[in-house]
Structure 1
Amino acid sequence: MTGLPITRDDDVVRVRQAVRAAAVAAKLSLVDQTKLVTAASELARNTLIYGGGGQADIEPVATDRRKGVRVVFTDTGPGIADLDLALTDGYTSGNGMGLGLSGARRLVDEFDIVSAVGEGTRISVTKWAR
């Protein structure tokens, strides 16, 4: 597992590069690589902007039949008060790309979010090779 700090804009780029390298190593198709990197970029930026910084943990995952990549974003920021609203298509609380959490969720195969107000947020995404 690769743990990368997310404390400034340059770190978002580093997370993108590391996620792409992991996706290539897992033999994800070019389309699936792009989907995972796009989702990771959005989530890394959210970690920085809304979570006040945090970390991305990137790891290869495998079952008997397939390989993939899991990326877990964690922060100790303010948390998300209304997860249902935050996961609504088109919702944005700022001036981001507008992809938001719902867009990132659509780009991956598995999406899990846990957030507590005043404690932070943990988002795990997984993309599997086809």
Structure 2
Amino acid sequence: MNIQSCVEVRNEWDIVKARQEGRNIAKELGFGSVDQARITTAISELARNIYLYAGKGRIEISNLDSSGKIGLRIIASDDGPGIKDIRKVMEDGFTTSGGLGAGLPGVKRLMDEFSIDSKENEGTEIITTKWLR
């Protein structure tokens, strides 16, 4: 089974669309309602960051099947300004938007795997995975 979705994020409605796509794929893969909520929250945060800081980018959602383990992978990418200090944005409570600062550390806690690659003036790519239990 190969399920994939790519949502271009350019406005707030695209954030909603990415969340819905993520929830639908998670449900189709058999994730329970709690994990569906975790996944959609992570997608929402990642898409919101693209919209706020890069202006545009994409959320790619796909299923994984690794040695019989089923999972859902989210790749959030943009060609924006990049993140100057990754360690700083990964601190709980750090915010540049006046939000709660749950941001990327929250996404990392909600998911099972998390990696971030960002280059100044080139963009950011965040890859995160949730495994079906």
TM-score w.r.t. structure 1 length? 0.96
Runs of 5+ in structure 2 lacking a partner?
none
Amino acid at match of 2:11: R
CA contact (8 A) 1:78 1:117 kept: yes
Is it true that 1:83 corresponds to 2:86 in the alignment?
A: yes
Q: Write out the 4+ residue segments of structure 1 that deviate beyond 2 Å after TM superposition.
A: 95-98
CA contact (8 A) 2:93 2:100 kept: no
Is it true that 1:23 corresponds to 2:26 in the alignment?
A: yes
Size of the aligned set, in residue pairs, is: 130
The sequence identity of aligned pairs, in percent, is 40
Is it true that 1:57 corresponds to 2:60 in the alignment?
A: yes
Counterpart residue number, 2:75:
72
Q: CA deviation at 1:95?
A: 2.5
Q: Tell me, what secondary structure is at the counterpart of 1:62?
A: strand
Equivalent of 1:106 in 105, 109, 114? 109
Partners of 2:10 and 2:86 in 1: how far apart?
A: 24
Partners of 1:34 and 1:122 in 2: how far apart?
A: 22
RMSD (Å) for aligned C-alpha atoms? 1.0
Deviations 1:45-90 (A, max 9, x none): 0011112110011101112232111010110000000000010011
Is it true that 1:14 corresponds to 2:17 in the alignment?
A: yes
